[in-house]
Amino acid sequence: IDVYQAWCGPCKAVVNLFRKLKNEFSEDDLLHFAVAEADSIVTLKAFRNKCEPVFLFCINGKIISIVRGANAPLLSKKI
Give 33-66 pLDDT, tens digit per residue.
888 888 888 988 888 887 788 899 998 889 999 9
Residue 43, φ and ψ in degrees, nearest 5? -70, -10
The structural domains of the chain, with segments of one domain joined by +, span 2-78
Residue 28: predicted pLDDT: 66
The DSSP bridge pattern shows strands 2-4 and 35-37 to be: parallel
Residue 74: predicted pLDDT: 92
> Mean pLDDT score of the chain, rounded to an integer?
84
The DSSP bridge pattern shows strands 62-68 and 35-37 to be: unpaired
